[in-house]
Amino acid sequence: MKKIEEVLKDWEPVIGLEVHCELTKLETKMFCGCKLEFGAAPNTHTCPVCLGLPGALPVPNKAAIESIVLAGLATNCDIEKHTMFYRKGYMYPDMAKNFQTTQGPKAFCMRGHLDLDVDEKNINERYGVAELAPGETFENVTRTEDGYTAKVGITRIHMEEDAGKMIHVGGAEGRIEGATHSLVDYNRAGTPLIELVTEPDLRSPEEARLFMEKLRQIFLALNISDCSMEEGSIRADGNISLRRRGTDQLGTKTELKNINSFKSLHDGLLYEICRQAEVLEEGGVIYQETRHWDASKKRTIVMRTKETADDYRMFPDPDLAPYDLSDEFIERVRAKLPELPDQKVKRFQETWSLSAYDARHLVEHRVTANFFEACMETADAKLAKPLANLIINDLAAMANDGLDLSASPLSPARAVELVGLLASDAISSKQGKQVLAAVLDEDKDPAQIVEEKGMKQVSDTGALEAVIDKVLADNPDKVAAYKGGKTGLLGFFVGQCMKATRGQGNPKLINQMLAQKLNG
């Protein structure tokens, strides 16, 4: 298959997402009093309502309605005051009552949007953006100094109930294909679930990944879900089609179902763009179908032909009266809105003069944002930038690899101390990484480690000048070569000076002093 860069010259991807998020912070299910508990013994949290037994009547969970209104307000949606629940035909064993209670064309939350900030390194996935000047706008994107901003419309956020869990035994990787039998657990059936549907405004796998990542940040800030991708609390379906550049007619779309990681969403969409382009260029046909992303084989696999809206046979649920939200209710929910990620980014920029890039990447994860704020409670404002660098470049990667920042030996106070040593040139950047590793390994303060290991950087100009003079005197041929135009030898002289000081010389100061002597 062609690479994505080649495909984008001729084809325009059109991507929309459907993001499903379980409201795991609630105590009970959507329409009954059964307890929400991940990992409970199978079928221990069920009742006549969530099993759909004859005569059982559902009662909506008011806290769940509050949660979806919070989600709508946080994503710039209009809140519909009058809405209702529908029954959607669902003939599959993981929903015992054979229908799913959901919402129809008018949901609680309608017509919202989110703005995505895409970094410079990823702009090539969006065709034509690299040619724009900062401030220039094209379609739904605006070029910025360090990438671009894309405005992505949200069609609606609707409320529904989740299905139970099927476990297929005997097949490969737990899939139904080749299974000898299947087990069903109805504990999850009836779990309050919100589904956010975007407009087809996304044009690259990176934009789709960023959208889901930002949405997860918002839901975590709202404290409506644990958003655990491993446990399936938040997952996405990606709808993707291609059309020839310069045309407006949408192509036939395929759907990538139940994506549960940011990487899988990005890689699955990337593969599907290239696959569809290959099929179309060879004269083939794209069928409307649901596909599975196989991360181990790095390809998509057909699951089933996609259903249409008519297949669901939706109609208003006769057991649930239409829902009316008062202005007072909406405003009471609005008052509960916390500081949202975009607001936190803006505050970090204004309070500590951070760049938009640094502020965004600090706020990407609550743990890094909280750690930075804890550091700045005691740190001088001039340390904000180096602290941001430490967190973004070192600690975030360690956190991704399993480091628990909240319980690690590197407390905010120690991080401030480490950055202070670097800022005062007491240690070099290379030594800083060694000190960081030692803090995590030995659970000691940075200054103590520097003292014990004799790492304090030599910045005494008198002492350094003596070293530099000796290095230059010992290498007259190289000094002559430098003055003859081979300026790259500066690195050799710096290396010799660092060797002479056993790695403790201030490399920045050595560079400056050498340049003055050699060019003087």
DSSP 80: P
Examine the domain organization and report whether 187 and 285 are in the same domain: yes
> What single-letter DSSP state applies at residue 391?
I
Q: How far is CA 513 from the centre of its chain?
A: 45
Mean pLDDT of 419-431: 87
Q: Is the pLDDT of residue 456 over 90?
A: no
Q: Alpha carbon of 270 to those of 131, 208, 277, 302: distances in Å?
A: 22, 10, 11, 16
CA distance 62 to 146: 43
Using the predicted structure, report yes or no on whether residue 67 has a pLDDT greater than 80: yes
**3 state DSSP class of 238:** strand
pLDDT in tens, 364-380: 989 999 999 999 999 99
Domain end marker among 315, 332, 349: 332
d(CA 57, CA 33): 12
Task: Please report the pLDDT score of residue 387 as a whole number.
Answer: 97
| Whether pLDDT at 460 is above 80 | no
> Full-prediction pTM beyond 0.85?
yes
How buried is 371 (Cβ within 10 angstroms: 0-12 exposed, 13-18 middle, 19+ buried)?
A: buried
Lowest mean pLDDT of 38-42, 89-93, 119-123, 352-356, name the range: 89-93
Q: How far apart are CA 403 and CA 415, in angstroms?
A: 15
Phi first, then psi, for residue 175 (nearest 5°) are -90, 160
DSSP category for residue 505:
B
Question: Closest Cα partner for 214 from 112, 329, 135?
Answer: 112
* All residues at 6 or more sequence positions from 384 whose CB lies less than 8 Å from its CB, including other chains: 352, 353, 354, 376
- The number of folded domains in the chain is 3
Say if residue 466's pLDDT is above 70: yes
CB-based contacts of 360, cutoff 8 Å, min separation 6: 117, 345
Please tell me the distance from the alpha carbon of residue 36 to that of residue 51, in angstroms, as a whole number: 15
- Residue 307: band (very low, low, confident or very high) from pLDDT cuts 50, 70, 90: low
The answer to whether 256 and 219 have CB atoms below 8 angstroms apart is no
* Residue 166 and residue 134 in one domain: yes
Query: Do 276 and 347 fall into the same domain?
Result: no
Indicate if the pLDDT at residue 471 is higher than 90. Answer: no
**Residue 397: predicted pLDDT:** 86
Q: Are residues 325 and 466 in the same domain?
A: no
Same-domain status, 321 and 377: no
The whole-chain average pLDDT of the chain stands at 92
Dihedral of the CA atoms 354, 356, 357, 362 (nearest 10)?
60
- Asked whether the predicted pLDDT for residue 518 surpasses 90, the reply is no
Residue where a domain stops, chosen among 306, 332, 358: 332
pLDDT in tens, 479-509: 888 888 888 888 898 889 888 887 778 888 8
Query: Judging by DSSP bridges, how do beta strands 192-198 and 147-161 pair with one another?
Result: antiparallel
506: CATH: 1.10.10.410
Instruction: Count the neighbouring beta carbons within 10 Å of the beta carbon of residue 26.
Output: 18
| Banded pLDDT at 406 (limits 50, 70, 90) | confident
Radius of gyration of the chain (CA): 29
Does 245 score more than 80 pLDDT? yes
Contact assessment for residue 387 and residue 436, using Cβ atoms and an 8 Å cutoff: no
Task: Return d(Cα 418, Cα 207) in angstroms, integer.
Answer: 36
pLDDT computed for residue 372 by the predictor:
97
* Phi and psi torsions of 93, nearest 5°: -60, -20
Q: Examine the domain organization and report whether 218 and 253 are in the same domain.
A: yes
Q: What are phi and psi of 304, to 5 degrees?
A: -165, 165
SS3 content of the chain, % helix, strand, coil (to 5): 40, 20, 35
pLDDT at 165 over 80: yes
State how far the Cα of 508 lies from the Cα of 94, in Å rounded to an integer: 65
pLDDT at 136 over 80: yes
Pairing of the two strands 254-259 and 11-22: unpaired
pLDDT of residue 173: 64
Whether residues 380 and 510 fall in one domain: no
Measured between alpha carbons, how far is residue 107 from residues 156, 238, 327, 376 in Å?
6, 20, 17, 42
User: What's the confidence (pLDDT) of residue 395?
Assistant: 92
Q: Same structural domain for residues 388 and 486?
A: no
Q: Let me know whether 49 and 78 are in one domain.
A: yes
Region 214-231 average pLDDT = 95
Q: Are 287 and 331 in contact (CB under 8 A)?
A: no
- Compute the Cα dihedral for 428, 430, 433, 437 and give only its sign: negative
SS3 243: strand
pLDDT of the residue at 174: 66
pLDDT tens per residue, range 310-358? 677 899 999 999 999 999 999 999 999 999 999 999 999 999 999 999 9
268 or 400, which is more confident: 268
The whole domain housing 447 covers 341-452
User: Looking at the structure, do residues 288 and 164 belong to the same domain, yes or no?
Assistant: yes
Which pLDDT tens digit goes with each residue over 19-58? 999 999 999 999 999 999 998 999 999 999 999 999 999 9
For the stretch 145-156, pLDDT in tens is: 999 999 999 999
Residue 483, amino acid? K
Boundary residue ending a domain (285, 303, 332): 332
Do 426 and 417 meet the contact criterion of CB atoms below 8 Å apart? Answer: no
Retrieve residue 313's tokens: 């046979």
Query: Whole-angstrom Cα distance, residue 123 to residue 132?
Result: 11
| Inter-residue contact 29 to 289 (CB < 8 Å) | no
Question: Can you name the residues that pair with 426 across neighbouring β-strands?
Answer: none
Residue 91 has pLDDT above 80, yes or no: yes
CB-based contacts of 201, cutoff 8 Å, min separation 6: 16, 140, 150, 151, 152, 153
Concatenated DSSP letters of 155-181: EEEEEEE---EEEEESSGGG-STT-SE
Residue 287 sits in the same domain as residue 328: yes
Quick one: 219 and 175 in the same domain? Answer: yes
Alpha carbon 466 to chain centroid distance?
Answer: 52
Residue 195 near residue 215 (C-beta atoms within 8 A)? no
| Section 227-244 average pLDDT | 94
pLDDT reading at 309 higher than 80: no
Write the DSSP symbol of residue 188.
Answer: S
